[in-house]
Structure 1
Amino acid sequence: MAVDPIEDTARTTQANLKYLLPGTDINRRFVSSGVEVNTGKYGPYPTTIRDGRDIRDHFQLDRHGFRLLDAPTAIVDFHDTPEVEAKYQEEVRGYVQKAYGADLVIPMNWMLRTSAAIIPKKVEANGDGEKKPYRHYGGLQPAAGEVHVDTEPSRQLAAAQAAYAKARPNGPGFKRFIVSSFWRTFTPPPQECPLAVCDSRSVRDDEGTPNVLWVVDKIPEGDDMFAPMDDDKQIAAAIFRHNPDHRWWYFSRMHRDEALLFKFHDSDHSVGWRVPHTAFWDDSFGAEANVRESIECRSIAFFE
């Protein structure tokens, strides 16, 4: 991959990124309230991460797969679920549609994450006294600490077709779609555990292993994590083994009126079409660093 000279001017920091290690062929991610557990084993690899803050306008969605946006928000309290539900997805829709120039943008689920310790909430009861099942939407989870993309390529066309048919049943159809994350941190900068994104140009098309998502009320243990399950019908992410060619970036000192837009999956593979990413512990700011709290909202952009 040819490196742009301006990129060599970027400040750098060093961190250990967690990549998938050799091991089990059954890769699953079990998620419950405040906790996420993988069956795969991940190992730390010392990695150089470049700070794109001073050259933020250099990055392009169809080249690098990500871009830092100015994105003022009207949300007062991101922990106020009714406020977020009422306003935030429409904000995301507008910013994503403008960034891509898409004909239709469908916002999807959102999630809060934090680098602080989480005390799992007790499972609430419904009107009949039965425990409500955990819903992986609008909750608070830990920072995702492994190199991954939240979509697995082979499942994306069918998912996009279903979403488009529901939103626009008599529409003309689409020629291209992009699944993205719109990621915002809302605690004061600098943050101790920011998000790193991998330049799409440094990722081979044949990389990635499916990691099947199971949302559960209780995390299984031991052999139960590997019991027969209908993995083929579940949502899956892609997880990655270490590749020294991967070129990593982050934007230090992000504030609440900025957002990082990056691709999970672009149906046009002639451009930068997916961005592996992970949280990492950034010790370059020392005691100045603050807890990172963030909100992510996924969307699908369609080009008709």
Structure 2
Amino acid sequence: MAPTAIKDIFPTHDKLPTEDTTLYYYLELKDGGIIQTYPGTAFEKRRKHVPHDVTVKDMRSVRDQFNINNAGFELVDHKSAVKDFTDAKEVEQVYYAEYIDFIKKRVGGADRLTHVSEGHAAQGLDDKIPVKVMNPARFVHVDQSYRGAEQILFLNLPEEEAERRMKKRWAIINVWAPIIKPVKRDPVAFADFRSIDEYDFRTVVANLPPPDAAEYGKAAARYEVTNLAHNPNQQWYYASDMTPEEAWVFMIFDSKNDGRAKCAVHTFFPYQNQDDYGEPRTSVEVRCFVFWDDKETE
């Protein structure tokens, strides 16, 4: 759990503008929940969660009080030089390079960054058939659990290098940004890490298909993700009216154990007045490994 000293100074920001919505939490196993899932499949799209009415606070006016070390997330200004986000080569050459440089400046002292990845029509499909249509993940989660972060490290690096990297501080940091147009639907909400009780974390195993596979099978790579049980103490935040000149930087995992935020629990949510059908939101998300050769984990 996060140290008491950090929770004692946690600001509640009771006077901020708010958005009332419904967030979807982990359905306990005893109630019909799951411990295995298949990301990107019809099964995942149809998966059941527990709805809870939640007030999400607009942190825009106090954005300087939130960062990846104390809350697990921060809102930053950044305008990409990418002209065409449908051009995979331009995204890889320009966008990835921009954010590698950007994250290095945010975290300070990192000697290496490695890009990893990244961007509901499920009715009538077999559970394990991949669904190609992308949609916002409207359930409360962290992309990897603490153990799952280590599993992702070994899935992406040679075993010897992964073992060496784990002896020093390392992290997984994501950047999510709207592109082309401002966010008018399905913004992302974050739970301040200082308001999280880690006893509410729930582990689910994600099974990934082999590259270019038409369906999931026994050869799938596996890693743990974190879901969350509801707790009324959780404090949720978003930023209103995000534009393509802004981005969220948020922690998926930090090996540093000094009381800082180790992850950012998040979800996308619909605005109260949002139409069920409308022009889709456009966004991009990148994930990076960050390594410090000169910093210990404690």
Aligned to 2:102, the other structure's residue is in SS state helix
Q: Distance in 1 between matches of 2:100 and 2:21?
A: 33
Deviation at 1:76, TM superposition (A): 1.4
Q: Distance in 2 between matches of 1:176 and 1:156?
A: 13
| Correspondence 1:10 to 2:16 | yes
* Structure 2 partner of 1:126: none
Deviation at 1:206, TM superposition (A): 2.9
Aligned to 2:242, the other structure's residue is in SS state coil
* Structure 2 partner of 1:52: 59
Letter in 1 for 2:248: L
Contact 2:190 2:238 in 1 (8 A): yes
Deviation at 1:240, TM superposition (A): 1.0
Q: Distance in 2 between matches of 1:241 and 1:257?
A: 33
Contact 1:30 1:38 in 2 (8 A): no
The correspondence for 2:255, drawn from 267, 288, 303, is 267
Pair 11,290 (structure 1): closer, same or farther in 2 beyond 3 Å: farther
Aligned to 2:39, the other structure's residue is in SS state strand
The correspondence for 2:174, drawn from 181, 194, 198, is 181
* Structure 2 partner of 1:74: 81
* Structure 2 partner of 1:141: 134
The correspondence for 2:36, drawn from 6, 28, 32, is 28
* Structure 1 partner of 2:126: none
Q: Distance in 1 between matches of 2:167 and 2:79?
A: 30
Contact 1:31 1:219 in 2 (8 A): no
Deviation at 1:53, TM superposition (A): 1.1
Contact 1:184 1:256 in 2 (8 A): yes
State the Cα RMSD in Å.
3.5
Pair 283,49 (structure 1): closer, same or farther in 2 beyond 3 Å: same
1:222-241 deviations in Å (ceiling 9; x for gaps): xxxxx9x688x602211111
Contact 1:187 1:292 in 2 (8 A): no
Deviation at 1:146, TM superposition (A): 0.4
The correspondence for 1:88, drawn from 92, 95, 98, is 95
| TM-score w.r.t. length of structure 2 | 0.78
* Structure 2 partner of 1:294: 283
Contact 2:140 2:228 in 1 (8 A): yes
Pair 162,148 (structure 1): closer, same or farther in 2 beyond 3 Å: closer
Q: Distance in 2 between matches of 1:30 and 1:19?
A: 17
* Structure 2 partner of 1:130: none
Q: Distance in 1 between matches of 2:246 and 2:23?
A: 24
Letter in 2 for 1:243: N
Gaps of 5+ in 1: 121-132, 221-226
* Structure 2 partner of 1:224: none
Higher strand proportion (structure 1 or 2)? 1
* Structure 2 partner of 1:209: 202
Q: Distance in 2 between matches of 1:75 and 1:158?
A: 32
Deviation at 1:118, TM superposition (A): 6.2
The number of aligned residues is 274
Deviation at 1:163, TM superposition (A): 5.1
The correspondence for 1:244, drawn from 223, 232, 238, is 232
Deviation at 1:65, TM superposition (A): 0.7
Contact 2:26 2:33 in 1 (8 A): no
The correspondence for 1:105, drawn from 105, 113, 118, is 113
The percentage of counterpart residues that share the same residue type is 25
Aligned to 2:198, the other structure's residue is in SS state coil
Aligned to 1:160, the other structure's residue is in SS state helix
Letter in 1 for 2:242: M
| TM-score w.r.t. length of structure 1 | 0.77
Pair 140,26 (structure 1): closer, same or farther in 2 beyond 3 Å: closer
Runs (4+) of structure 1 exceeding 6 A deviation are 117-120, 166-169
Pair 230,84 (structure 1): closer, same or farther in 2 beyond 3 Å: closer
Pair 273,32 (structure 1): closer, same or farther in 2 beyond 3 Å: closer
Pair 140,46 (structure 1): closer, same or farther in 2 beyond 3 Å: same
| Correspondence 1:193 to 2:169 | no
* Structure 2 partner of 1:127: none
Letter in 2 for 1:65: G
Letter in 2 for 1:185: P
Q: Distance in 2 between matches of 1:88 and 1:240?
A: 31
Q: Distance in 2 between matches of 1:298 and 1:88?
A: 12
1:63-86 deviations in Å (ceiling 9; x for gaps): 111111112201112233232123
